[in-house]
Amino acid sequence: MQISARNQINVTITEIEEGAVNSVLILETAQGLKLNASITNTSVKIMDLKIGEKVVCFFKASNVLIATGAMPSISARNKILGDIKEIKMGAVNDEIIMNVGNGDEITAIITNDAVKELGLMEGEKAIAIIKASEVMIAK
């Protein structure tokens, strides 16, 4: 499978929290990074997803928000602290590549203005924020 989403991470499903319409999947990489994905119960059933199963979670770089400073109190389920590995500057948007531990990376696309306002620099700490509803699952 090839997809254009920049962020593709191999994970294991460690929990499935079923709600009335959606289920929240608790996911973990081999290195221990935890992520949440919110998908429909129908998708869980059609894909026959099970605890302990290895899947790929993916999300677009444009769906990743970047924050600096203290861990923000917001409703997004995925708040991941990392180090900025690289900033690729573009005409309007910049690509931020973050090392989030043990070789795992998250890529974000944000505006040049946001990079300047946040004072982002390679080697500095930042927080990648991804809503659980933006995380998709493939097997």
Polymer length of the chain: 139
SS3 labels along 40-99: EHHHHHHCCCCCCCEEEEEECHHHCEEECCCCCCCCCCEEEEEEEEEEEECCCEEEEEEE
Which H or E run contains 7?
A: strand 7-18
Read off the pLDDT band of 2 (50, 70, 90).
confident
Query: Residue 50: which of 68, 30, 23, 71 has the closest Cα?
Result: 23
pLDDT tens digits for range 64-120: 999 999 999 999 999 999 999 999 999 999 999 999 988 889 999 999 999 999 999
pLDDT tens digits for range 14-30: 999 999 999 999 999 99
pTM for the predicted model, two decimal places? 0.94
Amino acid 15: pLDDT: 98
Domains of the chain and any CATH numbers: 7-59+134-138 (2.40.50.100), 61-131 (2.40.50.100)
Amino acid 41: pLDDT: 98
Q: Which two tokens stand for residue 2?
A: 């090839």
Q: What is the DSSP letter of 2?
A: -
Amino acid 101: pLDDT: 85
Amino acid 95: pLDDT: 98
C-beta separation of 75 from 130 below 8 A: no
Phi-psi region of 32 (alpha: psi -120 to 50; beta: other; left: phi over 0): left
Q: Give the distance, in angstroms, between the CA of residue 96 and the centroid of all CA atoms in the same chain.
A: 13
